[in-house]
Chains A and B, each alone.
Chain A
Amino acid sequence: MNQNNLSPKFYPAFREGIIILAVVLFIAVVFNSLRSNNLSFFGFSSTALIKEQQAKIPSITLSKAHDLYLKNKVIFIDARDPFSFEEGHIAGAINIYPDEASLHAASLKIKADHGFIFITYCDGPQCPLSKETAYALIQRGIPTVKVLVNGWSIWLTAGYPVSKGKK
């Protein structure tokens, strides 16, 4: 009964709401068409945006990365698949594939609070995984993530410490 009594009170609200929504649609479309920096209605591309944002992630040189490694101020993050990781990785690195970033975010945040910085790497100059993992970590609030481009290959060539297995 109560509902029946209340409903008529809200009918005008629904009617007015629909009118407002329609007027807004008209104004928004017209204004967007007239303005110079307008948006295309369906033109948003998340792929392009992610690429653009990933390009902004800073990279680090091998010598600087190695310096930090010697000072024990860095945690290397191997963004490759687990099989490649087990075959060989930078000594002390942890394996975080881009999709797994959320699982590690909390523990990495604690390490970041202790002053560690994070360097992601994968294999090959065009390899996207290191940037993808770095991007996913930054999105989850990890402050200092850098990318060592072509990291695995150059680290191995330089003869710096590596290890095998799951750890």
Chain B
Amino acid sequence: MKLRNFPRPFIPLLALICRLTLAIIFFYAGIEKIIDPGDFAVAIYNYQLLPDCAINLSAIYLPWLEVLIAASLITGIFIRGAALISALLFLTFATALTINLVRGLNLSCGCFGASSGNISWLYPVRDLSLFCVSVFVLIYDRGWRYFFD
């Protein structure tokens, strides 16, 4: 294995850092939710956006989606697909948070399992920033191959 293209590529390197940051966030968030799916289902219900029949399905599906996105971002397999889903997820989260902040509901974020704090305007701002990071990765990340032969 030979290292190449260093230190020239600033943007691919930044994209790599963004990608790994997203991966760590998704991995932590996913694992916390997988540990206690019941609590996560309650957190989803508290947002009062989904019908009862969709709540458990989301609580089962979403944590694994986050873990697999993390795995994909780390390994470099299907990066663009993972970055696309990541962007859409953060956009959805930001929308859900904004709706409930406007409604004035005081609820636990549920972002990183049950121990997450109560929501504030900081949360949708954070999610929109991560949405931008995801789009950056989607457009600019070139995978590990760019750096290693």
Contact = CB atoms under 8 A, between A and B. Distances in A.
A27 B82 CA distance: 16
Given A20-B69, A32-B60, A39-B37, A139 B106 contact: yes
Interface in B54-108: 55-57, 59-61, 63-65, 68-69, 72, 78-85, 103-107
B104 A23 contact: no
A9 to B, nearest CB: 8
A29 interface: yes
Interface stretch (A42-50, A70-78, A85-93, A145-153): A42-50
Specify which of A16, A42, A45, A49 lies most central, judged by the most chain B CB atoms within 10 Å of its CB.
A16
Nearest to A14: B84
B140 to A, nearest CB: 12
A25 to B, nearest CB: 7
The A contact surface, by secondary structure, is: helix
Contacts of A12: 80-81
Contact of A39 (B38, B65, B83, B118): B38
A41 interface: yes
Interface residues of A, number: 37
B138 A29 contact: no
A28 B61 CA distance: 6
A17 interface: yes
Interface in A112-167: 138-141
B53 A44 contact: yes
Nearest to B65: A24
Contacts of B18: none
A44 B134 CA distance: 32
Which are the 5 A-B pairs with shortest beta-carbon distances?
Answer: A16-B81, A141-B106, A13-B80, A16-B78, A17-B81
